[in-house]
Amino acid sequence: MPARPRITLIHATPIAMEPIREAFEAGWPEAEAVNLLEDSLSPDRAKSKDISDDLVERFVALTRYAELMGSDAVLFTCSAFSRAIEIAAAEARFPVLKPNEAMFESAIRRGGKTAMIYTFAPAREGMEQEFREEADKINPGASLTGFLAEGAIEAIRAGDIERHNRLVTEKAASLS
């Protein structure tokens, strides 16, 4: 029997852990999903418009740690760190993925306009840039417009999942 692939999930916030665990159980139960939580990443990212060199080094170090753990791949689960993840991926000896890659590829292949609802304001710019770079390769006519669901990230951080979901749903309903 072949060994289960070890996928290290690197989280910048604890609220990402449970939904991703559930997704792995449903979609890839054969994988051994291992969690690393570094919950100072998001607050530190929120303090700056750009991703600092120090944050990049932390992502590289987390990826190296995952390698020491015997990981077959890494999935970063927070969307606010695109540049840092790309640099970590370039230095890694195994696949290192951003959380939006498959979703963006699907939207771009479909083409046309895509609306993106985000909850963590510092994530917008990097995700829009990531989408644009991928669209330039696959389908330059695809476009993305981001909309902030204000208060949603604060609600989920406070443990109010219902309010978070309501705010995201309300933002989605307001789009045409």
pTM of the model: 0.83
Residue 118 has pLDDT above 80, yes or no: yes
| C-beta separation of 49 from 83 below 8 A | no
Tell me how crowded residue 139 is: count the other CB atoms within 10 A of its CB: 16
pLDDT single digits (tens) 28-38 = 999 999 999 99
pLDDT bracket for residue 2 (50, 70, 90): low
Q: What class, spelled out in words, does domain 6-97 have in CATH? A: alpha beta
Closest CA to 120 of 164, 89, 174: 164
Residue 14 to residue 151: CA distance in whole angstroms: 18
Higher-confidence residue: 72 or 120?
A: 72
Q: For the chain, which residues make up each domain, given as ranges?
A: 6-97, 101-173
pLDDT single digits (tens) 8-31 = 999 998 888 999 999 999 999 999
The whole-number average pLDDT for the span 113-133 is 92
Taking the mean position of all CA atoms in its chain, how far away is CA 140? 23
> What pLDDT shows up at residue 65?
98
Residue 54 to residue 75: CA distance in whole angstroms: 20
Indicate the burial class of 59 (C-beta count within 10 angstroms; 0-12, 13-18, 19 or more). Answer: buried
Q: For the chain, what's the residue count?
A: 176
Residue 1 has pLDDT above 80, yes or no: no
pLDDT single digits (tens) 139-169 = 999 999 999 999 999 998 898 989 999 999 9
pLDDT bracket for residue 90 (50, 70, 90): very high
